[in-house]
Amino acid sequence: MACWLYEGMLMFGVVFIAGYLFGTLSQTRNALDNRHALQAFLFVVFGIYFVWFWSKGQTLAMKTWHIRLVDAAGRPVTQPRALARYVLSWLWLLPPLAGAALFHLDAAETSVIVLGWVAVWALLSRFHAQRQFLHDALAGTRLVSVPALPPKR
């Protein structure tokens, strides 16, 4: 979870740059204008970011925490498998957000539902035979620890 939080902080920079680029190119004057187009653009930008780094083995946060993404056989992940993992990883957020939109819940109720869903989703990994998250099991990927490299002299 620490890697996940660190990744979130790094993604803030990606969102800032992508949002600025989108706003500049689309000449958006109000934050609510083109909101859905911005969300779609960010979905694509996040996809490019994660698929690119996962197919190389690690994101910056994963390097920091000495975690590598491999397929079920321990080989490097291909871009199609990384894309599948990216799409499946949205199961962490899309079901509760869709439910909140369907039932027109306010921000506080949506927050409770999303946080509850994420907690349940995380706890479900404890019941998997290899303690994997469901999106990893479905995508045929797994996270492994890699030893830290000794410091260079």
Please give the pLDDT value at position 1: 64
Distances (CA, A) of 103 to 33, 67, 99, 106, 110: 24, 39, 6, 9, 10
Give the Cα separation of 102 and 100 in Å (integer): 5
How far apart, in Å, are the Cα atoms of 23 and each of 9, 88, 152? Answer: 21, 28, 43
Residue-level pLDDT, tens digit, the chain, 153 residues: 677 788 989 999 999 999 999 999 998 888 778 889 999 999 999 999 999 999 999 999 999 899 999 999 999 999 999 999 999 999 888 999 999 999 999 999 999 999 999 999 889 888 888 888 889 999 999 999 988 777 777
Kindly give, in sequence order, each residue whose CB lies less than 8 Å from that of residue 108, ignoring residues fewer than 6 positions away.
Answer: none
